[in-house]
Amino acid sequence: MLTWLKKHFSFSKLPNILIVLVLTWYILSNLIIPNLNVIYTTFVSDEGTLTLTAVNKLLSSPRAMRSMRNSIVLALSLAVTVNIVGIFIVLATEYFEIKGSKILRLGFMTTLIYGGVILVSGYKFIYGPDGYVNKILLSIFPNMNVDWFTGYWAVLYVMTFAITSNHMMFLTNAIRTIDFQTVEAAKNMGASLWTILRRVVLPVLLPTILAVTILVMVIGLNATSAPLIVGGTGFQTISPMILSFSRMPTARDLAALLSLFLGLVTVILLTVMMQIEKKGNYISVSKVKTKIVKQKINNKVVNTIIHFFSYMLFLIYVLPVVLIILFSFTDARSIATRTLTIESFTLENYINLFTTARSYRPILVSAVYSVLASIGVVIIVLIAVRIIHKYKNIWSSIMEYALLIPWMLPSTMIAIGFVITYDSPKWYMFNKVLSGTMIILFLAYVVIKIPFTLRMTKAAFFSIDFALEDAAKNLGASGFYTFMRILLPIILPSILAVLALNINSLLTNFDLSIFLYHPIYQPLGVYIRSLTDMQDADNIVLTFVYAVIVMILSALTLFFVNRPKGEKIMREF
Amino acid sequence: MIDFKEVEVKFGDFVALRDINIHVNEGDFFTLLGPSGCGKTTTLRTLVGFIKPSNGRIYVNDIDITEMPIEKRNIAMVFQSYALFPTLNVYENIAFGLKVNKTPKAEIKKRVLEIAEKVELSKDQLQKKVSELSGGQQQRVAIARALILEPSILCLDEPLSNLDAKLRVQLRNQLKELQKKVGITTIYVTHDQEEALTLSDQIAVFNAGYIEQIGTPQEIYHQSKTEFVCTFIGEINYLGKGLIQDINNQTGTSLDPQKNSYIRTERISIVNNLTNNSAAIFDTTVTDIEFYGLYVKYSLESAHVSINCVDMESGKKSVNIGDTVQISIDPADIMQY
């Protein structure tokens, strides 16, 4: 033993050993134990015996069973509706020659800069009881029920348009990589526009469509904000159900079981997606790839129909954004009456936001959480990637897989894991109770951002010429000096882009925050959600001002990462 | 100066180098030559210290450096990709090693300017980003960065492989001049036989982790010790058993027809005026002519012969496809294994 130690141990290795130990502790206490605890809580009783009580409770709870059924129905329905809309808008902007396609693309891309709880609030403003649509409908049908925008159809409608952003990102990229010479070859052999689309273009896109469909189903299963805000009592899905169960001490095992169910289904779906990604990508064999040229629809009737639907969809996408921006500059009276006059425009709302503590506090809280968590995750991931890069062995592989766990699990399960694990002192968390503290949300934010940050940072790290490190070593530089002076500056643009994307997405996080937020320090997503419950004009206008600020920040972030150096990040994102 | 003694390198069960014995004299330009995956870069990296040998020892000036850390070996390396640090400018790249050693700033500046002059980099170029330099300039930065630490040995890992053909020849000459000027012992890795033959004082030809032959370029070319070296270096013709028997019959030599026989293309000549009485003469038909500018390559065939030969281009086209020409083969030029 002593000989082995003498051979393998030197004091110069001590910092490295400490770093590995800290990282191991972090992975165990934040990524593995909380999630295992969900399984433990579900199937092990307080006395330590195996139990199926939670399963029995679930089977005998009509609400819980209904929420599971609803989630599955929603996921399957979204797989159909999102694909119809998503494929249509991508073809309209990228494949067919449609007049004004650049403007259409901008409209269809609006969901990239606003989503989640803000988007749902926007839709509620337009389609809700006092909304614009009802105003028009009431003039035609004065006796109609204004509360129609609720339940399954409302959730399906909102989510269909909200998550076509995946199509706009992934399918657009896929269609742009199609070798146009294959289209020309088919044309040369006499194939019609529709035959080419059906037999040449769509088959190449199929793996991406399938992968995006699974992503859509995962999002549908885990839906939180849409069912909470427009689902009403008639259409509640699993996540809101877990939220309400987790707040009842006697039903926490049920919350754990439901989150476990969500986790399992998500893992299965994402595994299928990875298989599709692995097997199904068509690699062009073309020597000289040609950029796709937009196809003109020669049939006038079809052309008109496609133009009509493109602009109809454009309106659906753009209307909430335009109204949110316009009404964010109007007074409460305009909001209440849904009328716009020149006199009603004011900057008062924005001035109030930045001068009233009640209004700016949620932004401040979210900003602090997002920035700190994003920096935290970058530090953890940089250390991890350095280890993965330097030591290619079974342990570094295990570490990498462990860090990717949150990618496979829904936020809800991660939140439940934290809630049930750290509501009592644990020696591996220095006997501190984290539930109800500010730190628990920070830790959870870090956890959910690890997989994306890891994938991006690893890609950046592994694209560095290996010889650079050898060269620095050959010139006498230590590992730390090489890392700080050579490697880190090279990957810094990618790291900054990832940092910006992480901050941006955490700023309005809702799914995780709703489980773990500190009541005094409400983050923005949770606060906006609470405003939507009380639909008075002041609350609505505040929501819109928040929405505009978030949209500006998101647009700036996308612009920043979409520059040449950030393109790769965007593709992965 | 450098001695490899029975060096062996294993990666798991795979033996990358076996029984490597090399002696390099001080100031020599020593080339490790061989096809891809033969172990030449592994040998270089073992000398620099990136790879530890599983067996054997390495000595520099009779000091055992086998276990010595990289930074203490005083061996500089120029990488295939040059490995210039993209976030540092040319000056910072060259000064990197001195900065790591905590050399005073004034001293760093003095030495950077000195070495830049030696490798012909201007002051303006020192302030540029490395990405703004041409391939040749980048190579000079890499060499300057390596030389500034005044190493006892300079290792170069295929430094010309990323360049176009013309620049490669130009930089090859500059490299040789620089090496002579600095007088540093240089170990050079390449798979390009022309580079090896033109640059080296000594060449070690590698094959599958083993050294087939070490010798001067002339020895390697004209007295190839193994069939591998013979066929790897230069353009070669395989001579069939029937042809060897014909040569024996014509010239009275006793070459063994059972052995594999080879002759270099330039050692076969189309006969205009027969001067060498000891050579065998064959009638062949010209089946193809390839024009290379400096020389012409002929593909020739007859009953026992399917052979290539080269002739200097004279500018007068005297031989056409389909012509019958006589060729002479001197048995002394035949290499048998």
- Look at residue B317 in the predicted model and tell me its pLDDT: 67
Distance to chain A for B71, nearest Cα, Å: 5
Q: What is the rounded distance in angstroms from the CA atom of residue A327 to the CA atom of residue A545?
A: 9
What are the pLDDT digits (tens) for A18-40? 999 999 999 999 999 999 999 99
Q: Indicate the burial class of A534 (C-beta count within 10 angstroms; 0-12, 13-18, 19 or more).
A: exposed
What are the pLDDT digits (tens) for B55-106? 999 999 999 999 999 988 999 999 988 999 999 999 999 999 999 989 999 9
* CB distance A477 to A490 below 8 Å: no
Q: What is the domain count for chain B?
A: 2
Average pLDDT over residues B112-125: 91
Please, what sign has the CA dihedral across residues A445, A447, A451, A453?
positive
Q: Is A68 in a helix, a strand, or coil?
A: helix
- Scan for tokens 């007295």, then name that residue: B223
Q: Is B290 in a helix, a strand, or coil?
A: strand
Count of helices and strands (H, E) across chain B:
10, 18
- Look at residue A364 in the predicted model and tell me its pLDDT: 94
One DSSP character per residue, A39-58 reads HHHHHB-TTS-B--HHHHHH
Mutant choice from A465, A474, A490 vs B, greatest count of B C-beta within 10 A: A474
- Look at residue A573 in the predicted model and tell me its pLDDT: 42
Q: Are residues B157 and B251 in the same domain?
A: no
Q: Are residues B88 and B198 in the same domain?
A: yes
Q: Are residues B179 and B64 in the same domain?
A: yes
First to last CA, chain B: 33
* CB distance B91 to B126 below 8 Å: yes
Distances (CA, A) of B158 to B120, B155, B167: 21, 10, 14
- Look at residue B312 in the predicted model and tell me its pLDDT: 82
Q: What is the rounded distance in angstroms from the CA atom of residue A517 to the CA atom of residue A522?
A: 6
Nearest to B100 among A476, A489, A490 (CB): A476
* CB distance A507 to A371 below 8 Å: no
Q: What is the mean pLDDT of chain A?
A: 88
Q: Collect all residues of chain A within an 8 Å Cβ-Cβ radius of residue B88.
A: 486
Q: Are residues B160 and B253 in the same domain?
A: no
Mutant choice from A469, A475, A482, A487 vs B, greatest count of B C-beta within 10 A: A475
Q: Are residues B71 and B8 in the same domain?
A: yes
For B74, phi then psi, to 5°, come to: 60, 40
Flag whether pLDDT at A539 surpasses 70.
Answer: yes
Q: Exposure string (b/e) for B41-54, b if CB count within 10 Å is 16 or more?
A: bbbbbbbbbebebe
B280-291 and B324-329: which strand pairing?
antiparallel
> Could B81 and A470 be called an inter-chain contact, meaning their C-beta atoms sit closer than 8 Å?
no
Percent of chain B residues topping a pLDDT of 70:
98
State the virtual CA torsion across A358, A359, A362, A365 in degrees, nearest 10: -80
Segment holding B163, helix H or strand E:
none
Q: Which amino acid does the sequence have at B206? A: F
Q: Is A485 in a helix, a strand, or coil?
A: helix
Distance to chain B for A473, nearest Cα, Å: 7
Average pLDDT over residues B19-27: 95
- Look at residue A161 in the predicted model and tell me its pLDDT: 94
Distances (CA, A) of A41 to A36, A238, B169: 9, 18, 73
- Look at residue B96 in the predicted model and tell me its pLDDT: 95
Query: Residues in chain A, how many?
Result: 573
* CB distance B141 to B84 below 8 Å: yes
Q: How many CA atoms lie within 13 A of A81 on its CB side?
A: 18
Q: Which of A71-80, B8-17, B275-284 has the lowest mean pLDDT?
A: B275-284
Average pLDDT over residues A559-564: 71
Q: Are residues B220 and B249 in the same domain?
A: no
What are the pLDDT digits (tens) for A461-487? 888 888 999 999 999 998 889 999 999
Q: What is the rounded distance in angstroms from the CA atom of residue A246 to the CA atom of residue A240?
A: 10
Query: Which of the residue ranges A247-251, A273-277, A329-333, A415-419 has the most confident prediction, judged by mean pLDDT?
Result: A415-419
Q: Which amino acid does the sequence have at A58? A: L
Q: Indicate the burial class of A426 (C-beta count within 10 angstroms; 0-12, 13-18, 19 or more).
A: middle
- Look at residue A133 in the predicted model and tell me its pLDDT: 84
**Which is nearest to A30 in space by CA: A450, A457, A378?**
A450
What are the pLDDT digits (tens) for B217-268? 999 999 999 999 999 998 899 998 888 998 999 888 999 999 999 999 999 8
Q: Are residues B257 and B122 in the same domain?
A: no
**Running DSSP on this structure, what letter comes out for residue B131?**
G
> Could A471 and B100 be called an inter-chain contact, meaning their C-beta atoms sit closer than 8 Å?
no
- Helix-helix angle A116-127:A300-328, to 10 degrees: 100
Q: Are residues B206 and B286 in the same domain?
A: no
Average pLDDT over residues A197-213: 90
Q: Can you name the residues that pair with B300 across neighbouring β-strands? A: B286, B307
Last residue in a domain, options B170, B202, B232: B232
Per the structure, the complete domain to which residue B176 belongs is given by 2-232
What are the pLDDT digits (tens) for A95-125? 999 999 999 999 999 988 888 888 898 888 8
Q: What is the rounded distance in angstroms from the CA atom of residue B150 to the CA atom of residue B74?
A: 8
- Look at residue A29 in the predicted model and tell me its pLDDT: 95
- Look at residue A6 in the predicted model and tell me its pLDDT: 66
Q: Collect all residues of chain A within an 8 Å Cβ-Cβ radius of residue B77.
A: 470-471, 474
| Integer Rg of chain A from CA | 26
Q: Collect all residues of chain A within an 8 Å Cβ-Cβ radius of residue B85.
A: 468, 471-472, 485-486
Q: Which two tokens stand for residue B262?
A: 């080879």
Q: What is the rounded distance in angstroms from the CA atom of residue B97 to the CA atom of residue B101?
A: 6
For B289, phi then psi, to 5°, come to: -130, 125
The domain that holds B305 is classified in CATH as 2.40.50.140
> Could A475 and B87 be called an inter-chain contact, meaning their C-beta atoms sit closer than 8 Å?
no
Q: How many CA atoms lie within 13 A of A305 on its CB side?
A: 7
Q: What is the rounded distance in angstroms from the CA atom of residue B300 to the CA atom of residue B281?
A: 13
Q: How many CA atoms lie within 13 A of A526 on its CB side?
A: 19
Domains of chain A: 62-328 (1.10.3720.10)
Average pLDDT over residues A248-265: 87
Residue A267 burial (CB count, 10 A)? 16
> Could A473 and B70 be called an inter-chain contact, meaning their C-beta atoms sit closer than 8 Å?
yes
Res. A567 pLDDT band, cuts 50 70 90:
very low
Whether residue A322 lies within 8 A of chain B, CB to CB, comes out as: no
What are the pLDDT digits (tens) for B153-195? 999 999 888 777 777 888 888 888 888 888 899 999 999 999 9
Q: What is the mean pLDDT of chain B?
A: 90
The domain that holds B91 is classified in CATH as 3.40.50.300
Q: Collect all residues of chain A within an 8 Å Cβ-Cβ radius of residue B97.
A: 475-476
Q: Are residues B83 and B176 in the same domain?
A: yes
- Look at residue A338 in the predicted model and tell me its pLDDT: 77
- Helix-helix angle A101-108:A62-94, to 10 degrees: 160
* CB distance A203 to A182 below 8 Å: no
Q: Are residues B172 and B290 in the same domain?
A: no
Q: Which amino acid does the sequence have at B220? A: I
* CB distance A477 to A470 below 8 Å: no
Nearest to A476 among B50, B71, B81 (CB): B71
Q: Collect all residues of chain B within an 8 Å Cβ-Cβ radius of residue A489.
A: 87
- Helix-helix angle A300-328:A62-94, to 10 degrees: 120
> Could B101 and A473 be called an inter-chain contact, meaning their C-beta atoms sit closer than 8 Å?
no
Q: Are residues B153 and B71 in the same domain?
A: yes
Q: Are residues B306 and B330 in the same domain?
A: yes
Last residue in a domain, options B232, B254, B273: B232
For B297, phi then psi, to 5°, come to: -110, 130
Q: What is the rounded distance in angstroms from the CA atom of residue A507 to the CA atom of residue A371?
A: 9
Count of helices and strands (H, E) across chain A:
32, 0
Q: Which two tokens stand for residue A30?
A: 């934040």
Residue A325 burial (CB count, 10 A)? 14
Q: What is the rounded distance in angstroms from the CA atom of residue B95 to the CA atom of residue B99?
A: 6
Whether residue A467 lies within 8 A of chain B, CB to CB, comes out as: yes
Q: Which residue of A has its CA nearest to B155?
A: A474
Last residue in a domain, options B232, B248, B278: B232
Q: Which two tokens stand for residue B250?
A: 């014509």
Q: Can you name the residues that pair with B8 across neighbouring β-strands? A: B55
Average pLDDT over residues A389-400: 87
Distance to chain A for B163, nearest Cα, Å: 18
